[in-house]
Amino acid sequence: MNALMSKWFSMCDSLGVAPKQFSVLASGGLVAAIILGVKFTGGATKATAAPKPAPEPAAATARAVAPTATASTFQLRAWPARDPFTAFEAVPAEPAPAVATGSVKSGPDSLKLQATMDDGYAVINGRTIAVGGRVIDTASGQSFELTEVGFRRAVLQSGKERFEIAFER
């Protein structure tokens, strides 16, 4: 018995753990391994199975019948429609509405268009502005109303003058 105890203490010393703590941990691990082994091997075998009771007639049961689930199959594309990590360079599905050539001037240099969205929003100088919203040119103090948002462009109006700003490439 002393030889077994000395081996136990020397093993605990080499692992750097207290003997009592290690014995509790080892016995817990052994019990867990036995429980998992019984669970995965099917547990104790049954000598005889009890016969199933006869099913009740359908009219006598008042239970609700759960709908059965059907399997759904989805077919995904092997490649995405475009690379999400590159700049958007595609041609728009619908061309932007034509504006009379002489009626629109180039917008002020201090107003930078940073993004356009299909539902009538534009990001100008870091501010998101809806159609009908106003932006002020800090260089000149002039106020502009956002009148139109197109593909990579926005049209601003100040008084009767119309200005177009676009993404710089």
For the stretch 111-126, pLDDT in tens is 899 989 878 899 998 8
**Mean of the per-residue pLDDT values of the chain:** 76
Quick one: pLDDT at residue 47? Answer: 53
Q: Which residues contact 132 (CB under 8 A, 6 or more apart)?
A: 145, 146, 147
**Is residue 59 classed as helix, strand or coil in its secondary structure?**
coil
Q: Which residue has the higher pLDDT, 89 or 69?
A: 69
Q: Residue 6 in contact with residue 19, Cβ under 8 Å? A: no
Q: Which residue has the higher pLDDT, 60 or 74?
A: 74
Q: Sorting pLDDT into bands at 50, 70 and 90, what band is 146? A: very high
Report d(CA 123, CA 135) in Å as an integer: 10
Q: Sorting pLDDT into bands at 50, 70 and 90, what band is 167? A: confident
Tens digit of pLDDT for each residue in 9-34? 888 888 888 888 888 888 888 898 88
Quick one: pLDDT at residue 147? Answer: 93
Q: Residue 135 in contact with residue 150, Cβ under 8 Å? A: no
